[in-house]
Structure 1
Amino acid sequence: MARWQLHDLLGESDVASIVIKESEAEGQEARKFLEDVRAAFPQVLRVVKTRQVTHSVLNHLIDYIQNCEKIGLLEEKEMLHLHDAVQTDFKKLLRCPPLVKIPKMSDLISVHPLFGALPSSVSAPLQGSTQETVKLCGLTLYKEGFKPNGIWLISNGVVKWTIKSIKNKHSLHPAFTHGSTLGLYEVLSGKSNICDMITDSVVLCFFVEREKILSVLSLDPSLEDFLWQESAIVLVKLLLPQIFEKIALQDLRALVSERSIMKLYIRGETIEVPQHSIGFLLEGFIKIQGAEELVASPAALLPSHGSLIFESLKSSGITGASFSYQGSRYQVETRARVIIFDMAAFEADCTLQRSSWISPSADRPHRSLGREPRGLMSWPENFYNPRQHNQIPEGIDRQANSLSAKAMHLSIYGSMVKYQMVH
């Protein structure tokens, strides 16, 4: 409205054009901000809209009352009486605006899969040293190549990643959303940050210092195993995005909890990667059996030729990437930690897709792995079946596995959150 009035007042002029363009740019910025808020804090946007709509309705009501007086439907005294009543409502709106129902910070962090799965004796001291922060769009959480100083727990919002060495050329949606734990692998391994992490919306997150996380490792070996499993959830998306970014976060947690084996190997031992599996070297050094090339962590250990997984990776051109190696057997050169994922469900899904291309069926819709509507919680049906997977995988501590299972359930179901009223 202001731009139209300015145009009517000044007409076609350079001054009016400059001011209108600035106004349009700021309007776009405000609209983008509200879209970010819609994703990160929908309750705030709901209150903003409520106030705007209420204010607009009251303004229209005043105009309507005045118009009724002009055309003779209301006498002046009646018009003034109704006008005062509307002004009273205006004052109520200013003095007692709608309140935003924001979850308590303690509740938000307690339902984060990482913190929520930890025993209270461990999570309580960590929560006391956790820094809550809100980041605007376009801010950097950490940069590639720098030493990690802590981890970031994403409660709401979207964070994008980029790796200079592979330039995201194999990733369509390089993003992490609520429930993600960023920087954990770098803290545990002591390596420099693998990628840049930049906010892609308004983000509500929690920061935990590196020393606080490392202090947990000495409390219980199962906690260390659990943290390494959690770090793998983000790592696999960074190293093999064309496979794992198709899988929703809750499905990845189910994959870690129900279809993975994590083991520690010592020098001289042999690591085998079955055809239907993908391994990830989390720490240490290994060699492909029969080759002299030294493989350093982090690295993706791809299955051998003939596997549907390998063929799909080969067709995308990823098999020559700096983080990826192919072989069925590896010789351990130093103490090494490896997690291996059973990707049989993924290969079955690939087979189903190929058969559907050959003989599509309109009567039986096919829903492929990880193609749930983004942002909605769904049960990871392709991975988790309690009757089929009631055995704890060999190589994973029983307590660590139960922690991963708890994190998976928190990721899927969340929790009932108490609210507090704030302005």
Structure 2
Amino acid sequence: MYTALLEMRGITKVYPNGVVANKDVHFSLREGEIHAIAGENGAGKSTLMKIMFGMEEPSEGEIYIKGEKVKLQSAQDAIDRGIGMVHQHFMLVPSFTVAENMVLGMEPRRGVGINYAEAVRMTEETARKYNLAVDPKAKVEDLTVGMKQKVEILKALLRGAKILVLDEPTAVLTPQETEELFRELKQLREQGHTIVFISHKLKEVKAICDRITIMRSGRSEGVFQTQDVTEQEISRLMVGRDVVLKYDKEILAVSEPVLTVQGLGVNDADGKALLSDINFAVRGGQIVGIAGVEGNGQTQLIEALTGSLRGVSSQGSVLVKGKDIRESDILDIRKLGVSYIPEDRMRQGIASEASIADNLLSTQYRTKAMNKGLFLNGSRIAKLAVSLVEEFKVRCSGPSQPIGMLSGGNM
């Protein structure tokens, strides 16, 4: 007899550069539960789940499914064992339709071609079965983030997943999309599925999860019934010290406006208004929020403020320190002290295949300090990268980590 649907015993993962992502981790799943894995960025959550999904091989340790020892050497091995994973950064082909993405790698055939009608039918049938409404013929690039996540979940379910791993599933969702996701996950649990919910949002963990495994610095700090631990206790185990969960805002003195938007209007190439008569100012020392339902111009506003809009006409002015930047390129705007962290950092924010140093250099490669004649100054670039990473660690006031841990996204 077995007591766990899945067990991971003594899992250790050491990368070639010496970074220890997991150290002697024990993890188990019960059938039909929603099990949270909580921890700070770099705690080892995602690495542990990638090992479960066959994307990484453990340096040490064993995996058991229904009491049987298994070796998962690829994602296909995990899929064959009924494990599916929805990654934090979606693994969808933007130019394909929902149906094409759903059957990718298991395409129904008609002669030598793909039977698209059958792909649509399979998508509709799976969506009805799990009550997750999607448009099979819609292009993925036109979908909202929440809808893309539904497609990823349905992809895993179509392939027979009974264990579903969700890596930071609410990181890019609106509150309304998060509530909808929670309803869908509870329905899946009622249908007998087992769900792993990776997150560091404690309110969400408490709201939906049955049990929680807490990780810190690559190790497990224990497994608890979520109803038996408070947010304060969870956060203490996550970071190793007491954490202030409530923040009392003070009234701060602010300076003159550093950003002023006056009568900003933007039309697309066809003359359709994307923005109309936008007016606001941001003063030094302020945090200004911009709120709205997705698709109501927030993206275009940010693009107008960061020099990313192309092929459009605009009216009004966008002043940074008194200079109108509407006709400035991105690098010139950066020189004025404007930076942008996009909602999709993997697609828009970084070159994921490049090194930390190369990414940091992307806005400074033109400067004389980074050039040595016809070539870039490699030693100076390396020193800059190390100094910026060290400064980042000091500003965050977090525990010291090897620089290598910052090169591969969330562990």
* TM-score with structure 1 setting the length: 0.24
More strand by share: 2
Higher relative CO (Cα under 8 Å, sequence separation at least 6) belongs to 1
More helix by share: 1
Larger radius of gyration: 1
